[in-house]
Chain A
Amino acid sequence: MSAKLAIIKRELQGYFSTPIAYVFIVIFLMLSGVFAFYLGGLYERGQADLSPFFNFHPWLYLFLVPAVSMRMWSEERRSGNIELLMTLPVKQSDLVLGKFFSAWIFIAIALFFTFPIWISINYLGEPDNGLIVASYIGSLLLAGAFLAIGSCVSVASKNQVIAFIVTAVLCFISLLAGLPMILDFFNAWLPQFMVDSIASTSFLTHYISINKGVLDLGDVIYFIMVISVWLIATSLVLDIKKAD
């Protein structure tokens, strides 16, 4: 078995051998349902689609994903296990990727268990299932981007609480980069083309565009690039911080 697979397997076992996994999945399922039905009016709208369900995912992820990512590296550094891991004959990239993918797979598992809502909507009407598949992919990509940010922050801090808060704030900024509350801050002193490029990096813009059913390759590539950049940053920070 390759080292990457061994890490993914171990990390997943790690999630499920503590209550974290179950608490996370239960809360994710409960909140995503509550948001979709009560705030989004999924049922009352009388439309056979899942957009009220997917629209709330960014906000759910905003505090649930940092809860998953916060211990990814900070726990290893606190316990001293990082020394064990990094003296094994394994490439550093395998460690970073293995940990990231295991967290991503974990969130995919949580997302998978929302399938009853998909079945219900198919029972009630005739939704565009292609759109729903695209939305699931978009949701997963967004979670991946948040996780990659969280991975980098988790390497930088030994303290899980700090890792949680900083990740949540960074995710919030990345999510809303296109909204006035972030852009106004830059408007005053940056040239317009730079403000526009900041606006175009907003996670939310790309997420919504996928949700509309245009699974544009550009949006997918955008998320994959965001994930790559943050994972490379993770590896760099790991080099600096591992011995602290």
Chain B
Amino acid sequence: MIECKNLSKVFNQFTAVDNLSFVANKGEVLGFLGPNGAGKSTTMKMITGFLQPTSGEVEVCGIDLFTDPIAVKDKIGYLPEGAPSYEEMRVCDFLIFIAQMRGIPKAQILTKVDEVVERINLNKVYYQRIETLSKGFKRRVGLAQAIIHNPEVLVLDEPTDGLDPNQKHDVRELITSMAKEKTIIISTHILEEVHAVCDRAIIIADGKIVADNTPAELENMSKYHNAVTFDASIDFSLLEEIKAMSCVRDVEYNAKRKKTTVFPAQGVYIFDEISDFLKKHKISVTRLAMEAGRLEEVFRNVTLDDVKEVA
């Protein structure tokens, strides 16, 4: 469990993190979203004990970070941004070094290293120098050092940044597989990731929490929530007719792609109405779908003041 209370960090008058409070529970994957420079990494650096907060408290598994930083660091596995490591070391030596630093008893070190190598699929590069590895493998080495001591809490700063889709998938699978018995915080600006792995998402902008919901709830905040889209050639007069329906708030038509989006009135379900309407007017539709909502749009809405509008 991680608990942050009124956490703030000020760098030379620049407030990077502003009075942040949240709790992440065991079995939960918490996503930190936010534009670059919003304070995600700074918050993570404070939770892991790298940075001293200007004010506020951090408690990890019931231990206060400032009374016993070493005990807290012992409970946390941390993947810093960019997955730094000693490039001139071989993968095996690096993992053994981390295991030693983590105080794993000598007799168990090799078993632990083997376990983690197996789990993260590092067998192929076990004896290679880290500097010779691809970006994806370097990231995996970073993940391996973070979980080698089987920590109760995992803090992963952009774990999938710069990976190809297959590698992203692997990392997400790994996170999901560990989610049950751990508390995991990941930061990302890839929104699809929130869906793929997070139980809850906190959106941070300018160091403040601007949203704290489940991914589904965040989507509900989108104006695209329950909107119906279809691809068809359709007359403007018919569009006007749809727009005039009582359950419809607005209609958008993209002439180039022949794509129509119908926005429902607040909280109304309009899929059937629209589909009936299209059938009635015998319009041949190549695609008809209901949208869950667009996280990207919610993200823009809550993080940019100038595009803020009521969904």
**Chain A residues within CB distance 8 Å of chain B:** 1, 3, 5-7, 9-10, 13-14, 17-18, 79-81, 83-84, 86-91, 239, 242-243
Contacts and interface: CB of A to CB of B under 8 A. Distances in A.
B19 interface: no
B159 to A, nearest CB: 15
A80 B86 contact: no
B88 interface: yes
16 contacts: A1-B100, A1-B106, A3-B100, A6-B101, A10-B86, A17-B88, A80-B81, A81-B85, A83-B80, A84-B145, A87-B48, A87-B80, A89-B73, A89-B103, A239-B52, A243-B45
A87 B73 contact: yes
A80 B80 contact: yes
Contacts of A18: 88
B84 A88 contact: no
Contacts of B247: none
A3 B103 contact: yes
Contacts of B145: 84
B302 to A, nearest CB: 28
B74 interface: yes
Given A3-B101, A83-B50, A89 B70 contact: yes
Contacts of A6: 97, 100-101
Interface string B57-86: 000000000000011011010101110111
B84 A79 contact: yes
Contact of A13 (B50, B89, B101, B106): B89
Nearest to B149: A89
- Chain A CB within 10 Å, residue with most, of B50, B78, B85: B50
Contacts of B258: none
Nearest to B86: A81
**Which 7 A-B pairs give the minimum distances between C-beta atoms?**
A80-B84, A6-B100, A89-B74, A89-B73, A83-B80, A87-B48, A88-B101
A15 to B, nearest CB: 10
B51 interface: yes
Given A83-B78, A89-B71, 10 more contacts: A13-B89, A17-B88, A18-B88, A81-B86, A86-B50, A87-B50, A87-B76, A88-B73, A90-B73, A242-B50
Contacts of B103: 3, 89
Given A1-B100, A10-B86, A90 B106 contact: no
B250 interface: no
A3 B100 CA distance: 7
A67 to B, nearest CB: 17
- Chain B CB within 10 Å, residue with most, of A81, A86, A239: A86
A84 B84 contact: yes
B50 A14 contact: no
Nearest to A80: B84
Contacts of B81: 80
Contacts of B5: none
A90 B70 contact: yes
A81 B84 contact: yes
B87 interface: yes
Nearest to A5: B100
A18 B86 CA distance: 12
- Chain A CB within 10 Å, residue with most, of B49, B51, B97, B106: B97
A84 B106 contact: no
Interface string B126-154: 00000000000000000001000000000
Nearest to B51: A243
A14 B78 CA distance: 23
Contacts of B97: 6, 9-10
B305 to A, nearest CB: 28
Contacts of A13: 89, 93
A51 B246 CA distance: 102
Contacts of B169: none
Given A3-B100, A88-B98, A243 B50 contact: yes
B287 to A, nearest CB: 46
Nearest to B77: A87
